[in-house]
Amino acid sequence: LTVLGLESSCDDTGAAVVRLSGDTGGSILSNVVYGQAELHRDFGGVVPEIAARAHTSKLDLAVRAALTEAGTSLAGIDAIAVTAGPGLIGGVMAGVMCAKGLAAATGLPLIGVNHLAGHALTPRLTDGLTYPYLMLLVSGGHCQFLIARGPDSFARLGGTIDDAPGEAFDKAARLLGLPQPGGPAVERAALDGDPKSFRLPRPLLDRSGCDMSFSGLKTALLRARNTLIADQGGLFRQDVADLCAAFQSSVCDVLAEKTRRALAEYMVLNPTQPALAVAGGVAANNAIRAVLETVSSDAGAQFCAPPLALCTDNAAMIAYAGGELFRSGHIDDMTLTPRPRWPLDRSSPAMLGSGK
Ligand code: ATP
Ligand code: FE
């Protein structure tokens, strides 16, 4: 089964060709990503209008590049998968329209994919993980624990009640004069810092369950920064490094403790072959990966973290998730509607996170 996938829900225009094999896993024949970082840099964040226009002008080029790189053409494709939400609606619409056009012209089946399912199924694509597994989805707009039982079957154990960690990393970088996206910049700066130089809070650790909070951490960082500026008239390079290290260590501690609880809860329900997988852009952070790996091995669970390039937004994960949905009998038609919000676990209240 060879699937062409399209992704355009935020600031990356992606097209990819993925071949699914067996029950789980697949090979990525091409994975083209056109980033838009430089278009948004001067604005300090993604501007939805600019993003949508850039997707519109780049999607067909991305599709052509993905087909060429895969050494195939539309004639070699079995289905077209596209991110149908959640995300910035203009970008999602651009992708869905492009996919509908391709499906109408070729007669190929069209499959609308939840962007978060794309992230959540990535460990199956890369490592051939089998269902069920516990998933920590930690990205720019989301943070939640999910039990993945099938391509369209997820149960939510808990998540952030306010900001997502990626958003907090981005805001931290902005406060400290570091470039966007903030996660990689903060991680780099933290390498030269002392995490113990500032004591930042570990929100919600005193509360039971798997819910998390990151907005107070950001406020605490702002306060520490302002105190330094008031005292010394500005921030030294070492201050920035120390603040980044303290911030990152706080995020690590919160994620580690909540993951420990989520794994314990998961293992009561699924005692055999426990596995923890991480996905989403923040899973690219090496310090976070390291603590999660320790938590997994302490619990006797397999740990699976996809390669960095497949943790951030890409179309290979959409092609793969679309392939799994198609194989399980799911297919959309021209009524497929782009959705700005689309909870993975429909029985739960709408997912909290940024308004992105
Ligand atoms: P969502 O998938 O929830 O809609 P998104 O598409 O913006 O959100 P991703 O592309 O999965 O999110 O991830 C981008 C986020 O990951 C950004 O907030 C970025 O700062 C963060 N990020 C990327 N690399 C790192 C890193 N090394 N450390 C921490 N955060 C990181
Ligand atoms: Fe994403």
Q: How far is 332 from 111, CA to CA, in rounded Å?
A: 5
CB 247 within 8 A of CB 255: no
Crossing angle between the packed helical segments 182-190 and 165-175, to the nearest 10 degrees = 70
State in Å: Cα 118 to ligand 1 middle: 14
- pLDDT at res. 345: 79
Q: What is the pLDDT along the chain (356 residues), one digit of tens a residue?
A: 999 999 999 999 999 999 998 899 999 999 999 998 889 888 878 899 999 999 999 999 999 999 999 999 999 999 999 999 999 999 999 999 999 999 999 999 999 999 999 999 999 999 999 999 999 999 988 999 999 999 999 999 999 999 999 999 999 999 999 998 899 999 999 999 999 999 999 998 888 899 999 999 999 999 999 999 999 999 999 999 999 999 999 999 999 999 999 999 999 988 888 999 999 899 999 999 999 999 999 999 999 999 988 999 999 999 999 999 999 999 999 999 999 999 887 644 333 333 33
Ligand 1 pocket, residue 166 CB under 6 Å: yes
Q: Which amino acid is at 44?
A: G
CB atoms within 10 A of CB 22: 7
DSSP code of 160? B
Nearest CA to ligand 1 atom 20: 183
- What does each C-alpha distance from 316 to 141, 161, 216, 234 come to in angstroms? 20, 29, 35, 44
Looking at residue 174, its pLDDT comes to: 93
Q: How far apart are CA 94 and CA 341, in angstroms?
A: 16
**d(C-alpha 174, C-alpha 43), whole Å:** 11
Regarding the beta carbon of 87 and ligand 1, being less than 6 Å apart is answered: yes
In angstroms, rounded to a whole number, what is the distance separating the alpha carbons of residues 33 and 16? 8
Among the listed residues 9, 269, 275, the one whose alpha carbon sits nearest the alpha carbon of residue 134: 275
Binding residues: 115, 119, 137-141, 170, 183, 187, 285, 313
Q: Which residues are annotated as a binding site for substrate?
A: 137-141, 170, 183, 187, 285
Helices (H), ranges, the chain? 37-40, 48-69, 89-106, 115-127, 165-175, 182-190, 215-232, 237-269, 286-299, 308-311, 316-327
Q: Would the CB of 259 count as within 6 Å of ligand 1? A: no
Length of the chain equals 356
Between CA 288 and CA 293 the distance in angstroms is 9
pLDDT reported for residue 270: 87
Of all atoms in ligand 1, which is nearest to the CA of residue 181?
20
